Chain A
Amino acid sequence: MNSNGYQSTFIYPYPNIPGTPNISAQPGVSMPMFQFQLAHAYVPWHYMGQVFNPAEALAHGTLFPELFSPYRG
């Protein structure tokens, strides 16, 4: 509740963040909760997963395949 008496905080399970993998399907990984508030900015959490080998990482500009986002313009 904020000072006006309205509910201002929404708690969503992490997988509800659009565009992120449903990590609750992974064994042994508990589901983190995330507190969203209006007028705040957030990014989806990045979780450690598969990684490129060092030579591939240098060529891609990142160690993480899911963060590789090449410019196609």
Chain B
Amino acid sequence: MWVYQKKLEYPVRVSGPNPRLAKVIITQYGGPDGELSASLRYLNQRYSMPTDKARGLLTDIGTEELAHMEIVATIFYKLTRGVSPEQMQAAGLGGHYAQHNHALFWSDPEGVPWIAAYVQATGDPITDLTEDMNAEQKARSTYEHLIHLSDDPCVTDVLRFLRQREVVHFQRFGEALNDLQGFLSSKKVF
């Protein structure tokens, strides 16, 4: 089960409406390397992990990715709040508006809807953890692309936070991989 805290992991402020920026940031909501893919991948893979520690790590990081999905949703919502249909259209969000008005939806910036084929679960913990490390790097790269595209310093600040979390997750998945591949010493200082 989960316990919900009615606050974001990191506060989201925006300088003002910016549907053009919202259009690209949606990729971290429902794109291939976005936060929905991340959270569902980890929360699903944990069942076939061989140790409590690996299961716990996937639960923790999967949970945090859900919190990141909420942050990305908040960014999109704030950047499109009060934006007229004409402005949505001019920013390339005409298709989004036609189908979803100002609601959120899991798609990439081109409108391609999220699909489960973005994630995998092989039942092989080494394979799955290697995929997870790869996923963290893809998310990091995507956040860097979004930082380049952002013309709102408030949004860029949030993107930098989310990017740094991917760096930390990569380290933790790597340590889990070390563990499962046979770490010889029991003297770890955690």
- Interface residues in chain A, defined as those with a beta carbon under 8 Å from any beta carbon in chain B: 11, 14, 29-30, 32-35, 37, 40-43, 45-48, 58, 60-62, 64, 67-71, 73
Contact = CB atoms under 8 A, between A and B. Distances in A.
Interface string B124-147: 000000100100000000011001
25 contacts: A11-B184, A14-B185, A32-B183, A32-B187, A34-B178, A34-B184, A35-B183, A35-B184, A41-B133, A41-B177, A42-B174, A42-B178, A43-B171, A45-B175, A46-B175, A47-B189, A48-B189, A62-B167, A67-B168, A67-B171, A68-B164, A69-B164, A69-B167, A71-B144, A73-B147
Nearest to B140: A71
Output the residue of A29, A40, A43 with the most chain B CB within 10 A: A43
B72 to A, nearest CB: 15
Interface size class for chain B?
20 to 34
Interface of B is mostly: helix
Contacts of B178: 34, 42-43, 45
B185 A62 contact: no
A35 B164 CA distance: 29
Contact of B177 (A29, A43, A58, A70): A43
Contacts, number: 77
B118 interface: no
Contacts of A68: 164
B13 to A, nearest CB: 14
In the A-B complex, the 4 residue pairs with the smallest Cβ-Cβ separation, listed nearest first, are A43-B174, A61-B164, A32-B185, A61-B161
B190 interface: yes
B188 interface: yes
Contact of A61 (B133, B165, B189): B165
